[in-house]
């Protein structure tokens, strides 16, 4: 059993500084980014030509799809394609 009740926890959490803006923005963008990455991987599984374009130049292929090729996105897509 916890030694803190909900009211105490709420007060303590309220004393914390706000989350950095970048963290909040990343948390808001994460679900959409995950969905885009999943769509890219599904498409690459179904379309050999698209997969070859991704593997040849992932950053350019992502840009052509309207996805900013940020390092974490590129790394995630590479890992998913490698495990495919």
The SS3 call for residue 49 is: helix
- The total number of structural domains in the chain stands at 1
Structural domain for 78, as ranges: 20-82
Within a domain: 37: yes
User: Within the chain, where are the H helices?
Assistant: 6-15, 21-46, 48-56, 58-64, 71-82
pLDDT at 4: 79
Count CB neighbours of 61 within 10 A: 20
DSSP state of 47: -
- For the chain (length 84 residues), average pLDDT per consecutive 10? 83 94 91 89 92 91 88 89 82
Question: CA 40, 43, 45, 48 torsion: positive or negative?
Answer: negative
Tokens of 50: 């698209």
Is residue 35 assigned to a domain? Answer: yes
Residue 14 belongs to a domain: no
pLDDT at 43: 92
Q: Tell me, yes or no, whether 8 lies in a domain.
A: no
């Amino acid at each position: 059993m916890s030694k803190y009740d909900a009211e105490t926890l709420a007060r303590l959490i309220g004393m914390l500084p706000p989350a950095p803006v970048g963290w909040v923005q990343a948390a808001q963008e994460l679900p959409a980014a995950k969905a885009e990455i999943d769509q890219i991987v599904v498409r690459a599984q179904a379309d050999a030509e698209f997969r070859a374009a991704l593997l040849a130049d992932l950053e350019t292929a992502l840009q052509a799809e309207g996805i900013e090729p940020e390092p974490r996105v590129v790394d995630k897509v590479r890992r998913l394609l490698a495990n495919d």
